[in-house]
Amino acid sequence: MASSVWYCPLCQSEGTDGSVVFCGNDGARVRPIADRGAEWIGQVLDGKYRVVRFIDAGGTAEVFEAERLGSGKRVALKLLHAALAATSGALERFLQEAQLVSLIAHPNVVAIQDFGTLPDSVHYMVMELLDGHALSVELADGPPPVLTALRYVMQACEGLAAAHEREVIHCDVKPANLFLQREPGGERTVKILDLGIGRLFAGSAGRGLAETGIIAGTPDYMSPEQATGLELGPATDIYAMGVVLYEMLLGVRPFQDASYLNVLTKHVNEAPVWHADIAAARGVPPEAADVVLKALAKKPAERQASMLDLQREVASLARLVRGRTSALPLGEQRTLPSLEAAPQASTPATRPPASRGTPRVIAAAEKTPTPVSRGSRFRRVPLGEATGGDQEIAELAPDVYWVGRRNDALLECNAYLRVFRRRGTEMSVLIDPGPPKDFDVVSAKVAAILGSLRRLDCVFLNHQDPDVASNAAAIQQSSPRTRVICSEDTWRLAHFYGLDPQRYTAVESFAGGTMALASGHELRFVPTPFCHFRGAVMLYDPESRVLFSGDLFGGAQSRALVATSDSWPGVEMFHQIYMPSVRALALAVARVRRLEPTPLMIAPQHGSVIVGADVEPVLDALSSLQVGLDLLEPGGEDLRFVAAANEVLREFSELAGPDGARELLASYGSDGSFTSLFVLEGPAQIAAFKVAPRLALDALANEALASLPAGLRGDLQRSIRAILRQQGLEKSGPPIGRPPSGPPRSDRRR
């Protein structure tokens, strides 16, 4: 097959005849195929995006990789074709549709981050930059395995269901618009592309072929009502998804012809044929015929009632393929939230009953986790059982939710949602929405709880750091009602993320530091200057008695969301590095102690949540902890600790090999979320500590022990004890270097 040598910049058709000068479709002068997109490369669009390279072109747009000025973030920039801009009312429809799609915030829908119109009437969208390929590329090599095909369809159904809930229909569902995003470990996540854009060609759902002269969609996947220019609705996407499912299961499309007009005619008039022989040979269960042919019914009312109904039926086929009728395993539940079998109640956690007024941690026996909302992929779990998975929404207390995500880092970022309901009024506040890499998950969880991200009333920011505040701008772009609340000092820097000054309220404007809500509730602001920023402010919810503390009390490291008695070293290290002085901490703790009623749970922006009886000891310890400036001047004992640390490194090198010490030191701060504890002088020589000497030496000893095979740990422990004796440090504090109970460090989760 000859390669294309020209393309039409108006209709985007291509040709192989080099003698063609003008496009036969619209009369536009054709251009060399090598020049496609070249006029945009290097340009700065709307003062915000520098175009880097051409990626692809389709029936509606050209797609480029671009760089956002200021942040350097790489994004996908879609420039809609001139044919779209030329249609009547296109600008208004484009802006309306783009805004609707940007509000969906679903993991199976490509995220729209920005949109607008350039001075020459070219419409653009800015989206997340994906890594992978379209489903159409995979189908070019043949149909995928049956179970893989079903999983792709279930994910696509979930994303389309979220769109339909917001009255957005796709109108051009096809393999080219189902992108297979490459995930760590080789897993693929379906991302729906071009959502709502196909409908722009035909205008609103009620405008048909006779009025516009244009049919939206791709003939091979068009529903009968689409082919005849009738009113469109969710059933149109169900039909197209039925065609995609048919194609992936049988390897052919239900209607094929060299003439597009003939294909459209078949969609309207002919019944699709189910090839039972092909299905049986591929291992497709016989029940698939009923599911697929129902989706391909000529009349919209005879198809599945919704995308979620289609997803349920496809899920039942997946269970048949796997040879069982029970719920899918956990690894597949992430794409089947509405189809999971009810989990069995596990043994209740052994904990004393909560005292009156204590935020209630619901045990499994009291409340089996249930879907947050119909069709949601998230599951609400009690705080005591939460591990921080992307599928979990943890309940800290009634109507208080953890909606963040765990990134397997030393410093995890937490986002919390508080929903107030009383007398028919609902108010919602998202606390510390987190960094851009968490936006998709955080926004989707919020939407699952509230029904839509645009129902979010407020975002509260403890301070301005990117890992705390940068998602606030994206949320305001997605939700026209959301107001940002923070201190004036925080706003001075946070507004550079692109926050709307018309939707900002300073905490200083609330009399007495208390914000009264329309629901009859109140929130209290607790200023904590220089912890770790001049304008830092904690947020206290007296009804749930949860203190949202920002950076304060952060750093507790735990496999779960609840801190344990072993979490204190992480809190200590975090504060010693990032807080300025013990005086700042003492002031903050004193203000916490004045709160009435007293907090019973501390929810920090980093690390794990501090609950119940652990709150008071942490307050006591933090109020006198030497940090920052208090630790800058080393004393004689500090020098002995440095000497001891280097001796431990030398002993470790003897046991782990010549590169062992360098690899051990390089592992500190390797995940990018937390700085190293050591100031190095050469690759394997410690010159000073950034935290208290005993804490740093203890951390080094424990990491060294954890990195060794169990048979060698005893040798290193004996050496550590001897080194401490030689340096006169054996009685200067608690024992240093405890034998780990788990596997060597290389196999352990940091």
Dihedrals phi, psi of 639, to nearest 5 degrees: -65, -35
Query: In terms of pLDDT, which residue wins out, 333 or 522?
Result: 522
Query: In terms of pLDDT, which residue wins out, 91 or 620?
Result: 620
Q: What percent of the chain has pLDDT over 90?
A: 37
pLDDT of 345 higher than 60: no
Q: Please, what sign has the CA dihedral across residues 325, 330, 332, 338?
A: positive
For the chain, domain boundaries: 37-128, 132-327, 379-508+522-629, 633-747
Summarize pLDDT for 371-384 with one digit per residue, the tens: 455 456 788 888 88
If you average pLDDT over residues 481-507, what whole number do you get? 93
CA distances to 55, 391, 396, 466, 713 from 406, rounded to whole Å, are 32, 11, 16, 17, 31
Q: What is the pLDDT of residue 418?
A: 97
If you average pLDDT over residues 291-320, what whole number do you get? 94
Dihedrals phi, psi of 456, to nearest 5 degrees: -70, 130
Summarize pLDDT for 556-577 with one digit per residue, the tens: 877 789 988 778 888 988 898 8
CATH assignment, 379-508+522-629: 3.60.15.10
Summarize pLDDT for 281-299 with one digit per residue, the tens: 999 999 999 999 999 999 9
pLDDT of 204 higher than 50: no
Give the CATH fold of the 132-327 domain. Answer: Transferase(Phosphotransferase); domain 1 (1.10.510)
Q: What is the pLDDT of residue 709?
A: 86
Which of 122-131, 334-343, 508-517, 652-661 is least confident?
334-343
Catalytic residues: 172
User: Angle CA(580)–CA(585)–CA(590) in degrees, nearest 5?
Assistant: 155
The answer to whether residues 592 and 636 touch, using CB atoms and an 8 Å cutoff, is no
Q: What is the pLDDT of residue 407?
A: 76
Rounded to the nearest integer, the mean pLDDT of the chain is 81
If you average pLDDT over residues 716-740, what whole number do you get? 76
Half-sphere exposure of 473 (CA within 13 A, CB side): 18
Q: Where are the beta strands (DSSP E) in 470-518?
A: 483-486, 504-506, 514-516
If you average pLDDT over residues 90-97, what whole number do you get? 64
3-state helix, strand, coil in the chain (%, to 5): 40, 20, 45
**Confidence band (pLDDT; 50, 70, 90) for 266?**
very high
Structure-block tokens of residue 399:
């109507």
Q: What percent of the chain has pLDDT over 70?
A: 81
Q: Please, what sign has the CA dihedral across residues 408, 409, 411, 417?
A: negative
Cβ atoms within 10 Å of 508's Cβ, excluding its own: 14
Which DSSP letter does residue 420 get? E
Half-sphere exposure of 358 (CA within 13 A, CB side): 12
Q: How far apart are CA 225 and CA 267, in angstroms?
A: 9
pLDDT of 184 higher than 80: no
Summarize pLDDT for 212-224 with one digit per residue, the tens: 344 556 889 999 9
Residues 6+ apart with CB under 8 A from 185: none
Q: What is the pLDDT of residue 78?
A: 86
If you average pLDDT over residues 251-259, what whole number do you get? 90
CATH assignment, 37-128: 3.30.200.20
Q: How far apart are CA 398 and CA 544, in angstroms?
A: 7
pTM of the model: 0.49
Q: How far apart are CA 87 and CA 90, in angstroms?
A: 5
pLDDT of 603 higher than 90: yes
Q: What is the pLDDT of residue 341?
A: 27
pLDDT of 734 higher than 50: yes
If you average pLDDT over residues 440-460, what whole number do you get? 92
**Confidence band (pLDDT; 50, 70, 90) for 91?**
low
If you average pLDDT over residues 259-284, what whole number do you get? 92
Q: How many helices (H) and strands (E) does the chain have?
A: 24, 28
If you average pLDDT over residues 218-238, what whole number do you get? 91
**Confidence band (pLDDT; 50, 70, 90) for 183?**
confident
Q: What is the pLDDT of residue 670?
A: 58
pLDDT of 750 higher than 50: no
Residues 6+ apart with CB under 8 A from 651: 716, 719, 720, 723
**Confidence band (pLDDT; 50, 70, 90) for 90?**
low
Q: What is the pLDDT of residue 426?
A: 87
Q: What is the pLDDT of residue 211?
A: 39
**Confidence band (pLDDT; 50, 70, 90) for 230?**
confident
pLDDT of 352 higher than 70: no
Q: What is the pLDDT of residue 93?
A: 63
Summarize pLDDT for 7-34 with one digit per residue, the tens: 787 666 788 888 888 887 777 888 887 7
Q: What is the pLDDT of residue 721?
A: 87
**Nearest alpha-carbon partner for 190 in 227, 157, 164, 215:** 157
If you average pLDDT over residues 406-419, what whole number do you get? 86
Q: What is the pLDDT of residue 215?
A: 52
Q: What is the pLDDT of residue 524?
A: 96
**Confidence band (pLDDT; 50, 70, 90) for 84?**
low
User: Angle CA(522)–CA(524)–CA(527) in degrees, nearest 5?
Assistant: 165
Summarize pLDDT for 319-328 with one digit per residue, the tens: 888 763 333 3
Q: How far apart are CA 246 and CA 297, in angstroms?
A: 13
Summarize pLDDT for 532-561 with one digit per residue, the tens: 899 999 999 999 999 999 999 998 877 789
Tokens 């006198």 map to which residue?
624
